[in-house]
Amino acid sequence: MKKQIVTFVMAAAMLGGCNSIENNPLINQGQTPYGTPEFSKIKLEHYKPAFDYALAEARKEVDAIVNNTEEPTFENTIVAMERSGELLNHVSTIFFVLNGNETSDEMQALAIEIQPDLVAFSNDVNLNPQLWERVKAVYEQKENLGLNEEEAKLLENTYKGFVRNGANLSDEQKEQYRKISEELSGLSLHFEQNVLSATNAFSLNITDEAKVAELPAFVREAMAAEAKARGEEGWTVTLQQASMFPFLTYSSDRELKEQVWRASNSRCVGGEFDNLKNVQRISELRLEMARLFGYQTYADFVLEERMAEKTPTVLSFLEELRSATIAYAKKDYKAVAAYAKKNGADYESMPWDWAYWNEKYKVAKFSYNEEEVKPYFELENVKKGIFTLAERLYGIRFVENTAIDVYHPDVKAYDVLEENGDFLGVLYMDFFPRATKRGGAWMTAFREMKSVDGQEVRPFISLCGNFTKPTESTPSLLTFDEFETFLHEFGHCLHGLFAKGTYESLTGTNVYRDFVELPSQVLENWAIQPEFLDIVAVHYQTGEKMPAELRDKIIASKKYLAAYANIRQVSFGTIDMAYHTITEPIEDVVAFERKASASTQVLPVVEGTHMGCSFSHIFSGGYAAGYYGYKWAEVLDADAFEKFKEMGIFSRECGNLFREEVLSKGGIRHPMELYVAFRGHEPETQALIDEILK
């Protein structure tokens, strides 16, 4: 079955509804460009009947495979399994993607109702003994089937998928697995709902103009727009990153900043949206699942299907990065704290002071600030510049298509075309925060690439962010970090758009988790290339390019606090691995996490805070025992970009090589094979350490 159905844990939907399948746009869609979803016709009441119908159809398709009287073959069993559940995959994908982008209380309520049905179906498939016997029969004949590389990989993945989802367990163990997987699914769903609710529950409204007078105009305007949208007077800060971070960076009011910082870092620690028990129970259940399969820890179970392969490899990797840079990270903190003292801070610098004095110190060191930079990164122009980069590297074009239905007025859709005009896919872009949308930035897909009867089915890719919103007087002006984030997610999009292959489960971003960040992180390197900044960094009012002096300051500042930034990411990876290398249940998750993160602690510890309670990546987002992958991919991207520098950062030849050997291959081959085919050798961790400490 498709991975969306099997592994999605974030659901949504609503009650009641339209029971007419004939008129349900999720089941019977009208004529649309390329078969894109008819979002404007999909109502809340359509989801439940669509799921019920699609689940029934998927069960029929699986039953047909099980009851096939012919001998099991690659086509009638393995390919049939890959192709089954297409309608359920379609309904599920739309439902879950929109739950992250345009949710509601009703949608989240239906999530709780639907999720058990999906988990039960997944378990019914993976634990079906007759189906497993057919899969095993084909697998045992694999050497005699004359399969090509892609077919062999599909067979291997299908076999492993059944094994890793319980097919080889005893009947008693299978029942245990069912219970564990069902409870885990529900807990992960509740975890993410709590994070969203806690994020939306806090806001700080300021009515005293004197408290915002010092803030840059772009921060004040955004706060005023937020207040107006809420029907409030004055200026409002929320826990959305695009709102919170500028306030922490530019406000000198320690009392207000502490309120905001504490609210963010204590999200879901007790209270109405408590996740402490969810963290404790999820970790415990994952350990139980690992033990069920004969592994000592959950990390051991997960990493078997990653580039790193083994827990000691990841722990050693993180420790190598930590030990090489922790002293430098502490020096970074002391330098900022000393600067604060020198400039009137008669207090110990706390985490809510960090962004403010960090920015002040950076301005003093490099003689520029974000207010100078933002006018050069107007969102629409940045988008055009990034499109231009893709055109130069890969020969593709992006043409807005207003005939494509979208799910929110903020969203725009683009035809992505090859140089010769051939259709490559659709790209949806959804840039701004709203209460119905989860935080952060991400790439996802409404449809992934596959080939059916020799005809390609091209993908529908979505780029979602929470960038600075436009105000009544200014367009959306990005911070430099937001500019880098845009490049990062666009890299993921290219990975999805350039997909080639026959089987959906092997195309696009369906690769090892610690490899999937390479295409995104390598694209971030262009953010500090002068030749690219000349294209993308243009003043939104004057049309002038960013002055070379300012551009060079930005490039120089990229090494600013590099060791601290590295340790921060290593800390996240360390916390993740701690939760997933436990061998006994955790009694006190706060104390546990405090101890786990002690070796990477740089800023002062604040009581009442806890990262794990809002760490969606590992407790509801698929990165369990995998957060190290960001640093792992950083090693890859630091080395990979050297190839682009050698051949030219706009080299079509190099772009085509990266597209052919990495972006288009999906999960057909082991990632290291793909990397070496592009780069010519394996990467080394020391190269990244040297880059950090340069």
Tokens of 412: 């725009």
In a domain? residue 194 = no
Q: Report whether pLDDT(392) > 70.
A: yes
Measured CA to CA, the distance from residue 396 to residue 449 in angstroms comes to 17
Residues in a beta bridge with 397: 417
Q: With helix as H, strand as E and coil as C, how does 208-269 read?
A: CHHHCCCCCHHHHHHHHHHHHHCCCCCEEEECCHHHHHHHHHHCCCHHHHHHHHHHHHCCCC
Position 694 pLDDT exceeds 90? no
pLDDT at 15 over 60: no
> What is residue 394's predicted lDDT score, i.e. its pLDDT?
98
What average pLDDT does the segment 591-599 reach? 97
Average confidence (pLDDT) over 68-75: 98
Amino acid identity at 552:
D
**Same domain for 220 and 159:** no
Task: Provide CB contacts within 8 A for 641, sequence distance 6+.
Answer: 522, 525
CB 505 within 8 Å of CB 82: yes
pLDDT at 19 over 90: no
Closest C-alpha to 423, from 447, 388, 454, 399: 399
Range of the domain at 249: 202-265
- Looking at the structure, tell me whether residues 237 and 381 fall in a common domain: no
CA atoms of 98 and 107, how far apart (whole Å): 9
Q: Read off the pLDDT of each residue in 366-390 and give the average, rounded to a whole number.
A: 96
Q: Are 464 and 437 in contact (CB under 8 A)?
A: yes
* pLDDT of amino acid 688: 85
Look at the chain and report how many structural domains it folds into: 3
Q: Say which residues have a Cβ less than 8 Å from residue 523's Cβ, sequence separation at least 6.
A: 487, 488, 490, 491, 494
Residue in the block written with tokens 């449809």: 447
- Contact between 319 and 325 (Cβ < 8 Å): no
Statement: residue 13 has pLDDT above 90: no
For 489-499, the pLDDT digits (tens) are 999 999 999 99
The predicted-structure confidence for 113-149, as pLDDT tens digits, reads as follows 999 999 999 999 999 999 999 999 999 999 999 999 9
Structure confidence at residue 89 (pLDDT): 96
CATH number at residue 157: 1.10.1370.40
Q: Is there a contact between 81 and 158 (Cβ–Cβ < 8 Å)?
A: yes
Say how many C-beta atoms besides its own lie within 10 A of residue 402's C-beta. Answer: 8
Question: Exposed (0-12), middle (13-18) or buried (19+): which is 348, by Cβ within 10 Å?
Answer: exposed
What whole-number distance in Å separates Cα of residue 442 and Cα of residue 455? 29
Q: Are residues 134 and 9 in the same domain?
A: yes
Residues 84 and 219 in one domain: no
Q: Show which residues are catalytic.
A: 489
pLDDT at 2 over 50: no
Taking phi first (over 0 means left), then psi (-120 to 50 degrees means alpha), and beta for anything else, what does residue 622 get?
left
Residues 303-314, mean pLDDT to the nearest whole number: 96
Are residues 390 and 437 both part of a single domain? yes
The answer on pLDDT for 581 being more than 80 is yes
Do 465 and 512 belong to one domain? Answer: yes
Rounded to the nearest angstrom, the gap between the alpha carbon of residue 285 and the centroid of all alpha carbons in its chain is: 24
Do 348 and 604 meet the contact criterion of CB atoms below 8 Å apart?
yes
Q: Is residue 102, in this structure, part of any structural domain at all?
A: yes
Res 559: pLDDT? 87
How many Cα atoms within 13 Å fall on the side-chain side of residue 304?
15
3-state secondary structure 268-291: CCCCCCCCHHHHHHHHHHHHHHHH
Q: What is the pLDDT of residues 328-362, one digit of tens each?
A: 999 999 999 999 999 999 999 999 999 999 999 99
| Residue 14 binned pLDDT confidence (cut-offs 50, 70, 90) | very low
Based on the domain organization, do 92 and 146 belong to the same domain? yes
Residue 71 falls inside a structural domain: yes
Work out the angle at residue 265's Cα, subtended by the Cα atoms of residues 270 and 11, and round it to the nearest 5 degrees.
70
Residue 387 and residue 459 in one domain? yes
Which pLDDT does position 693 carry in this prediction? 86
Q: Is residue 65 part of a domain?
A: yes
pLDDT at residue 513 tops 80: yes
Residues 530 and 392 in one domain: yes
Q: Is 61 in the same domain as 144?
A: yes
pTM: 0.91
Q: How does residue 609 score in pLDDT terms, banded at 50, 70 and 90?
A: very high
Mapping DSSP onto H, E and C, the string for 567-592 reads: HHHHHHHHHHHHHCCCCCCCCCHHHH
How would residue 439 be classed by pLDDT, with cut points 50, 70 and 90?
confident
Say if residue 552 is in the same domain as residue 495. yes
Which of 238, 240, 237 lies closest to 215 in space, CA to CA? 237
Residue 310 in any domain: the answer is no
Q: Are residues 211 and 83 in the same domain?
A: no
The pLDDT > 70 percentage for the chain reads: 97
Q: Is residue 587 part of a domain?
A: no
For helices 129-139 and 44-66, the axis angle rounded to 10 degrees is: 60
Of 265, 288, 319, the position where a domain reaches its end is 265
Domain boundary among 558, 589, 612: 558
Q: Please tell me the distance from the alpha carbon of residue 112 to that of residue 574, in angstroms, as a whole number.
A: 31
The mean pLDDT value for 591-605 works out to: 97
Residue type present at position 117: D
Structure confidence at residue 16 (pLDDT): 32
Tell me if 397 is assigned to some domain: yes
Task: Answer whether residue 454 is part of any domain.
Answer: yes
Which strands make up the sheet holding 442-447, listed edge to edge?
A: 397-400, 412-417, 423-430, 460-464, 442-447
* Final residue belonging to a domain, choices 537, 558, 579: 558
Among the ranges given (1-15, 187-201, 462-476), the one the predictor scored with the smallest mean pLDDT: 1-15
The answer to whether the beta carbons of residues 553 and 571 sit under 8 Å apart is: no
Q: What pLDDT was estimated at residue 12?
A: 28
